[in-house]
Amino acid sequence: MEPLVDMLVREYSERFNGYQAVCTGLFLQIITVACRSFSSQASDSLRTEFTGKEEAVSQAISFLESQYDREITINDVAGSVWLSRSRLSHLFKEVTGTSLMDYLLRYRLERARLSLQDRTRTITQNAYSVGFHDPAYFSRAFKKYFGVSPRESISRIS
Are residue 79 and residue 22 in the same domain, yes or no?
A: yes
Distance of CA 119 to the CA centre of its chain: 23
User: If 0-12 CB within 10 Å is exposed, 13-18 middle and 19+ buried, where does residue 150 land?
Assistant: buried
Q: Among 99, 114, 141, which residue terminates a domain? A: 99
**What is the value of pTM for the model shown?**
0.68
Q: What is the pLDDT of residues 61-83, one digit of tens each?
A: 999 999 999 999 999 999 999 99
Are residue 64 and residue 112 in the same domain, yes or no?
A: no
| Domain with 13 in it | 2-99
Are residue 144 and residue 68 in the same domain, yes or no?
A: no
DSSP label at residue 69: T
Counting Cα atoms < 13 Å in the Cβ hemisphere of 119 gives 6
Are residue 89 and residue 11 in the same domain, yes or no?
A: yes
Q: How many residues does the chain have?
A: 158
* Residue 124, domain CATH: 1.10.10.60
Contact status, residue 145 vs residue 21, Cβ threshold 8 Å: yes
Which are the contacts of 107, defined by CB distance < 8 A and separation ≥ 6?
25, 28, 64, 65, 68
Q: What is the pLDDT of residues 111-149, one digit of tens each?
A: 999 999 888 889 999 999 999 999 999 999 999 999 999
